[in-house]
Amino acid sequence: MPGLWFADFEVGRVFEHEWTRTVTEYDNMQFSLMTMNPQPLHIDHHAAARTEFGRPLVNSLFTLGLLVGMTVNDTTLNTTVANLGMEKVRFPAPVFHGDTLRARTTVQAVRASKSRPGQGIVTFLHEMLNQDGTVVASCERAALMKAGPEAG
């Protein structure tokens, strides 16, 4: 399914994104190593066992990337010009290897661009929930969107 055009968004619209993803140890290790993050809490089972969590935590930036990625198909695929920024990024609960995650998006604001005719800015609240329905991550994301197919 392609993303939606700016004209298709309305404040309060909620997307319960269909895809789910079980996070693996490989995901966490590979992402941490690719981003040069040597935090033992993510990559060292013995060190992580001595923390209050008792096991490795999934790298929060992997979680954030997965959260935004899971929302693209329903919202911005081929219809966005650019991400303008993310604010209020939160990780209220940990993510562990084996957790199955899903995303929910709520449209918070919609406004025409003042400087770019034929485009508009949509502000999304993205939330990631685990298999128990616990919110494990959230962020507000502003995206510059094409108004419609004629905007190319």
Q: Where are the domains of the chain?
A: 6-151
pLDDT value at position 2?
74
pLDDT value at position 148?
80
pLDDT value at position 142?
97
CA 108 to chain centre: 15
Given a cut of 50, the residues of the chain with pLDDT beneath it are none
pLDDT value at position 118?
86
Cross-strand pairs, 109: 123
pLDDT value at position 48?
94
Which of the four CATH numbers 2.10.109.10, 3.10.129.10, 3.40.50.2300, 3.55.10.10 does domain 6-151 have?
Answer: 3.10.129.10
DSSP state of 51: S
- Which residues have a Cβ under 8 Å from the Cβ of 32 and sit 6 or more positions away? 38, 39, 42, 43, 59, 62
Confirm if 59 and 34 have CB atoms less than 8 A apart: no
